[in-house]
Amino acid sequence: MNNKIVLDYSQRLKDLNIEHSFVEHPSLTEVVDVMNFIGRPISESSATLVMKADDRYIAFIRRGDTELDIPKVKQMLGIGSLQIASPTEFTKLTGLLSGTAHFLTGLETLVDKKVLEKEYIYGGSGSLEITTKYKTEDLGKIPNSQIVDIANIKVKPIILTGDTPSGKLHIGHYVGTLENRVKLQHEYDTYILLANIHAYANDYRLAQKINENVYQVFLDNLAVGIDPNVSTIYLESGIPETLELYSYFLTMVTHARALRNPAIKDELKYKNLDPANVVMSEASVGFICYPILQAADILGFNANLVPVGEDQSPVIEQTREIARDFNKAYGDTFAIPEAMIGRVPRLVGTDGKKKMSKSGGNAILLSDDEETLKKKIQACYTDPNRIHATDTGKVEGNPVFEYHRAFNPNIEEVKDLEDRYRAGKVGDKEVKEKLFTALNTFLKPIRGKRKYYEDRPEVVKEILVEGTKRARKVVQKTLRKVKEKTGINKLIE
């Protein structure tokens, strides 16, 4: 490290006996990106805010997961105005560029006490390419500083999402919901459901297979980038309170409404059952009512946002109906959730006919090795009317090009391939080879992370056990509120 600003800062910290070290990284402006690179939760980050308090400037140090309680700060300081210093003011006061603030600004400094709840905290260094790791017990040595109670933990909106464990996840799951989970997990309190009770509704006799599938789906979530330090992954059956909420909601949905859900009819078609005769079908009662159980899953967390595949939109709408009906009867209790559909709502399978699915035999799995991936791409359906490479080809509805658009980051290459394919100037071989390169590059780090967790089953189990415990506490709180609102146990309390 040869950054003079950071080296000078390090010497000043040493002179004050403040224990510290540095982490080098690419130039990053967002705290979330820095903490992702370091691999630590946002609660271990800090922000130094230089603010103008009436006619003087004060530095505030708070944790990354908190926000200043402005009315409390004003009252404590006896001031009427408090606003962030402009970039020009900041640089003039500190000698640093905006966004690079460290802890020694030379100003009166107020350190929120929540910073000290962590043994170490990460903060600025004077450079966008270097982050400082501080021992928090030394922060009282900052000149002209006080430890005060001036910040509150940010209340994040809530995400509930998850998977019915029917086997390993595929690239359609990634662009449908997984991608959004990973992107949003730092902005939302994220709960990820391993819906094993839903799987029993499909076939209750497959207990061992369901457990195996749960484990594979769990590994896939970790492999794509779900951070167990940030998101909570839990097992549905480990929260019996969800089933109690489910029992309430069953009484709220009419028989006709349950049978009318388009998601049920789509699933029946997928199972080769007659959607026009749901009553006489071989589907279990639990299967017919799975959208109501899903409503209990979602409302148990008072989720604001539910990343789902396009086919689950009707389920979210039924959940919204249940929430509104309950709120109308007993007062505001549940948030009204919104569905979030992925950037590719319904990825076609390698056969070019149906939606991608493992049971349909037309899926590229997130865990496929290079050789398997290559074979699947080579066998992938293209344009059946195109016999020779010089024939004009159809790009629309061609799964090879759908996958290019979804997973090949080289937009110019994709456009060139599409133009040449339409003009009969490129063969399927080249198009598929370049798709293999793009998809293999995408899947390689996912395979690596999956292998890391596969080799550490005790770590995986601990993540799931602890996640289920945390999730259960949330649903228990919701259930208590529902019981209080309805007074269902009033006569025996």
pLDDT tens digits, residue range 437-456? 999 999 999 999 999 999 99
For the chain, the C-alpha Rg in angstroms (whole number) is: 27
**464 CB-near residues (< 8 Å, 6+ apart):** 194, 218, 233, 234, 235
Per-range mean pLDDT, top range of 268-277, 388-397, 432-441: 432-441
CA distance 400 to 378: 10
* Range name among 14-28, 78-92, 101-115, 263-277 with the lowest pLDDT average: 263-277
Query: Do 90 and 49 touch, CB atoms closer than 8 A?
Result: no
**210 CB-near residues (< 8 Å, 6+ apart):** 165, 196, 199, 200
Residue 279 pLDDT: 52
User: What are 83's two structure tokens?
Assistant: 């606003």
Query: Do 245 and 194 touch, CB atoms closer than 8 A?
Result: no
Q: Which residue has the higher pLDDT, 477 or 99?
A: 477
Buried/exposed code over 328-354 (b: 16+ C-beta within 10 A; e: otherwise): eeeeebbbebebbbbebeebbbbebee
CA distance 440 to 446: 10
Where would I find the beta strands (DSSP E) of 208-355?
232-235, 305-308, 338-341
Would the pLDDT of 273 be above 60?
no
Residue 310 pLDDT: 82
Average pLDDT of the residues in 136-142: 95
Per-range mean pLDDT, top range of 198-212, 331-345, 455-469: 455-469
Complete domains list, the chain, with CATH: 4-153 (3.90.960.10), 158-347+466-492 (3.40.50.620), 370-454 (1.10.240.10)
User: What are 133's two structure tokens?
Assistant: 């790791």
Nearest one of 192, 232, 478, 472 to 334, comparing CA atoms: 478
H-state helical runs in 138-224: 171-173, 179-184, 196-202, 207-224
Query: Do 199 and 164 touch, CB atoms closer than 8 A?
Result: yes
Other Cβ atoms less than 10 A from the Cβ of 90: the count is 23
CA distances from 75 to 83, 111, 115, 134 (A): 15, 16, 21, 30
Mean of the per-residue pLDDT values for the chain?
Answer: 91
Would the pLDDT of 265 be above 80?
no
Nearest one of 48, 50, 83 to 64, comparing CA atoms: 48
Would the pLDDT of 66 be above 90?
yes
User: What are 1's two structure tokens?
Assistant: 């490290």
Would the pLDDT of 274 be above 70?
no
pLDDT tier, 207 (very low <50, low <70, confident <90, very high otherwise): very high
Residues linked to residue 152 through DSSP beta bridges, in sequence order: 67
Amino acid in the structure at residue 326: F
pLDDT tier, 429 (very low <50, low <70, confident <90, very high otherwise): very high
Q: How many residues does the chain have?
A: 493
Which backbone phi and psi does 373 adopt, to 5 degrees? -60, -45
Residue 162 pLDDT: 95
Amino acid in the structure at residue 311: D
CA distance 109 to 145: 5
CA distance 390 to 242: 59
Q: Report residue 73 CA to chain centroid gap.
A: 33
Nearest one of 232, 208, 167 to 465, comparing CA atoms: 232
User: What are 269's two structure tokens?
Assistant: 């078609």
CA distance 303 to 314: 16
Query: Do 306 and 298 touch, CB atoms closer than 8 A?
Result: yes
CA distance 4 to 371: 49
Residues linked to residue 53 through DSSP beta bridges, in sequence order: 56, 82
The crossing angle, in degrees rounded to 10, of helices 428-454 and 207-224 is 100
Query: Do 438 and 408 touch, CB atoms closer than 8 A?
Result: yes
Three-state DSSP at 205 gives coil
Residue 269 pLDDT: 63
CA distance 192 to 162: 5
Tell me the per-residue pLDDT of 221-264, one tens digit each, with 9 for 90 and over. Answer: 999 999 998 999 999 999 999 999 999 999 999 888 887 777 77
Number of helices (H), then strands (E), belonging to the chain: the values are 19, 15
